[in-house]
Structures are given as structure tokens and as C-alpha cells.
Structure 1
Amino acid sequence: MPKKAELKIETRATIIAEFNCGVSASEIAKKYNCDRRTVYYLVDKYKNHHNCENLPGRGRKRVTNKKDDTLICRSFKIYPRQTFKSALSNFNDNRENKVSMTTVRRRLKENGFKSYVIRKQPYITPKNREARLQFALEYKDKSLEY
């Protein structure tokens, strides 16, 4: 049987309010097109947690914590030219639970880092540098119409 969509938080609050006013669970279930057990589940959840919203802890847990995320970001702030592989190996050296390269990329993206390729600087030899300087000194005093 396919899973139905979750009830909106406003609907959950209304169900709990109606149940507390004395409306039966079967009537509420018919009105909101849900199962009677769902009504009891919502009421029980509200009694235990005083909240009708989704509780934290749903889904897969993060491999890294806030401190680990800070370490990853700090390493890229200090050494922005390092590769993901080198950062990953440095980070995983001190950990018992290894982190994947995708996790490192994801943490950097969450913290506003963007991937880019650093522009290559032209290689200027000392000989070429001297020739450029001589050229500039030779033509610095000439007019633009020569």
C-alpha cells in the first residue's frame, strides 16, 4: 500500500484540538481522510513531547559534527590551492571514521566555498623579465604618435 503524504502541521494541531474537545477519533479520521490510528498517534505524540511537529532525528545522521566542519573549512581558508584529495587525506589521518571526498565537497559548499580553477600565471624567465624592463625603459619617454 503506498504511503500517503504527511499531514500539515496546522492539520495536526487541529486534530489534537478536536480530540481534546471530545470529538471521537473515528469522526476526526473521516473528516481529515486519515486512519483512526493516526489520530491516536498524534495525540499520544503531543502528550509525550508537547509538540505536533516532526521530531529531530529523521533521516541519515551526519558523519561530521560542527567541529569537523570547521576544521575542513579552516584548512581551505589557510590553503586555498590544495586539492580535495590532499585535504581529505589530512583530515582522515586523525579520524577513526573516514570521510569521503563527496562529504568534504558538500561541507565546503554548505559553508559558501565555491569550486574554481586557479588562473595560470604566464611563466616569465629572468631573461624575458630583463627584456621587458629594457623595452619599457626605452619607450617610456616617447609620445603616443611615434
Structure 2
Amino acid sequence: MARKRELSSETRQSILVLRNEGNSMREIAKKLKISYTGVYYSLQRTAQTGSNQSRKRSGRPRCTTEQEDKYIRVSSLRNRHLTGPQLTSSLNSTRKTPVSTSTVKRRLRDSGLQGRVAKKKPCRTNEKMLEECLTPSVKHGGGNVMVWGCFGAGKVGDLYRVKGILNKEGYHSILQRHAIPSGQRLIGANFILQQDNDPKHTSKLCKNYLEQKACDWGITHKATAKQDYTKITGLVVQERGVFLSNSGLLGASPDGTVSDECIIEVKCPWSVKNLTVRQAAAEKGDFFLQLDGESGSLTLRPTHPYWHQIQGNLQLTGASTCHLVVWTLSDLVILPVLKDPTWARNIDVLETFYKDIFLPKIL
């Protein structure tokens, strides 16, 4: 049963006054809206003690002795970094019945010792500035150093110190002076540059520079690809210049012709220069060739820009076939692409676009 709230001193005094006026205990209980037993025990206590105050209670016996209380206090003063649980564990190691951490904290408060978080800097208030109440700290600082570096083939390349904030212009300079030269020195001309998607890396300035390197790669090795094509097929590649449409508004410049009915288009993809063509088609989802899983044959994707480039060349040159030559450092594939008669309607569309939209914008 829950313990009921004690009667206040004012209520006890009111009971005594009403009783002296001749009211019965039930009448007093009714007037003050308290229980009959409360009135009875209040009057009985007043008669026995001569006061309307509560009797002094014995309370629960202390679970620690004076010697243990002194041990708690002295241990805390000797090492102010000891926590309540640590003091409790130390005390309980010598007792049969353990005490709680709350009990130890009460003994500390009774001794005037309060729990505090150790300061890392002295504070001129009370004991906070005492050495035993402080936590040592080490100050660091003095600036920082940012460097750019690279590695490959078990070796390290240039290490460049970046001064200030590195922006796209600074990274473009690093690509020119350190990244590309280091790659060529460590691995060779066919190295692959790997980097994350940092905004500086994906900026137009840096992407265009790397794409220009890919264009330079294609231009540099196109002659080699043509020579390998001639060795394999025995066909001689002739340079023919630009072929114009009937209106003269559109032009096509294939990489060469081998007959009136056949032209060639050479591709030397930089991104897969170390792979075979079939590996590139199988591993790179955006490659312009697709590999048939059943037959193992290679075909040019009809949605790729190269498809439209070749069909445009076929329409304007009048040839019926284009030999698509795909060259890498380890492979060469010759893929015939036939003229698609339905693509011819794009000629009129392109000429209309040129006359009605493009030309007025530049005049």
C-alpha cells in the first residue's frame, strides 16, 4: 500500500483548534476533508509529545562505516580524476556486500566534493585551476601542406606542392607538367590515368585537355592502322579529300577509299588502347561496337554517332560499303558496314536545317 502524504503543520494546528472548540474527531475530519484516522493520530501525537511536529524517525542504517567514508574522501582527494564507478569498484573490493555508485557519490557530496568535468585550460575559480584537476593538452597548428602525387607500376611519379587553393586552372597545369609526363615515364605512352570525380577533375577545361590527348592519340596512330589494314587485306588506301552533296551544302571526308564502292573509316580508341577489340566490346557498356553473346560477332551500334558518320560518308561518296577499322595496341578488327538506303532521307533534313536555322544565325 502506498504511503499517504503527511498532514501539513497548518492542518495539524487547525485540528488542535477545532478540538479545543469542542468538535468531535469526525466533525473535524469532515470540515478539513481529511480522514478520521489522520485526525486521531494527530491528536494522539500532540498529547504524547506536546507538539504537533512529526516524530523523529530512525531512518535506514548507513551502509558504510565512518572509516569507509573517510577512505572514499581521501581516495578522491589523492586522485581527482577518479570517477564514481572507479571509486565504487575500489571500495567494493574490500567489502562483503557491495555498495552502489550513487551511495559513493552521496558520501563525496557530504564531504563537499562535487563531480566535475576536467578543464583543459586553467580557470581562475575555486579548485578548477588546481593542477590535479586539469587534463593535459597539446596544441597543434601552424598551417598545412597540400601536395599532388601519382604512382604506377610499383614506382612513384612527381610530387608537387600546391600553394593556396587548388582550382581547375591549377589542376590543368598539373596535368600538363606532372601527370602526363609521369605516366609516360613510369609506364609508357599507353598508360591509363585514374582519378576521382572531384569538380576540378571533371571541369570542362581538364576534360577537354584529356579528350584532346585522345584525339592526338587517334591522329598519331591512324597511319599505323592504315598500314596494318593494307598488310592484312592487300588493298591500297587512297586519300580522296572531301566529297560534296549535290547542293554543295554538305560534305564528307572518309579516312580513305579502296575502290569506287568501298571506303574506310579508322578508329583508334584511347580509352581501350590496351585491350583487344572484343574485350572492349564485352567490358565497356558505352563502346561503339557490340558483341553478340551467341554468335560472338561484332556489329556497330546503330544508335552510336559513328553509325551516322559512316552512313553520311556512304551517301555522299556513293560507295556501298565502308570498312570500319578498329585499331588498338594489341588488336585490329576490320568490320564491313553496308549502306542503309533509308538513311538518305536525312540528307534533305540536314540541308533544310542548314539553310533555315544554322545559316541565318551566322549571317
> Quick check: TM above 0.5?
yes
CA deviation string 1:81-118 (max 9, x = no partner): 33434422332244343211222123324534122234
CA deviation string 1:9-60 (max 9, x = no partner): 1220231243245321122112211122221111112223333233343876
1:8 Cα offset (Å):
1.3
Counterpart-to-counterpart distance in 2, 1:15 and 1:8: 11
* Correspondence 1:18 to 2:18: yes
Structure 1: which amino acid aligns with 2:80? P
Structure 1: which amino acid aligns with 2:15? I
* Correspondence 1:120 to 2:103: no
Structure 1 runs of 4+ aligned residues shifted over 6 Å read none
Counterpart-to-counterpart distance in 2, 1:6 and 1:15: 14
Structure 2: which amino acid aligns with 1:120? P
Q: Secondary structure at the match of 1:88?
A: helix
Q: Which has the higher helix share?
A: 1
Tell me the matched-pair count. 123
Q: Superposition pairs for residues 10-49 of structure 1, below 5 Å?
A: 10-49=10-49
Q: Which has the higher contact order (CA 8 A, sep 6+)?
A: 1
Could you say if the C-alpha distance between residues 71 and 15 of structure 1 is closer, same or farther in structure 2, counting changes exceeding 3 Å? farther
Q: State percent identity of aligned pairs.
A: 30
What is the TM-score normalised by the length of structure 1?
A: 0.61
Q: Superposition pairs for residues 79-98 of structure 1, below 5 Å?
A: 79-98=79-98
Residue 8 (structure 1) aligns with: 8
Structure 1: which amino acid aligns with 2:106? R
Structure 1 gap ranges (5+): 124-146
The structure that has the greater radius of gyration is: 2
Could you say if the C-alpha distance between residues 35 and 83 of structure 1 is closer, same or farther in structure 2, counting changes exceeding 3 Å? closer
* Correspondence 1:55 to 2:55: yes
Structure 2 gap ranges (5+): 119-133, 140-363
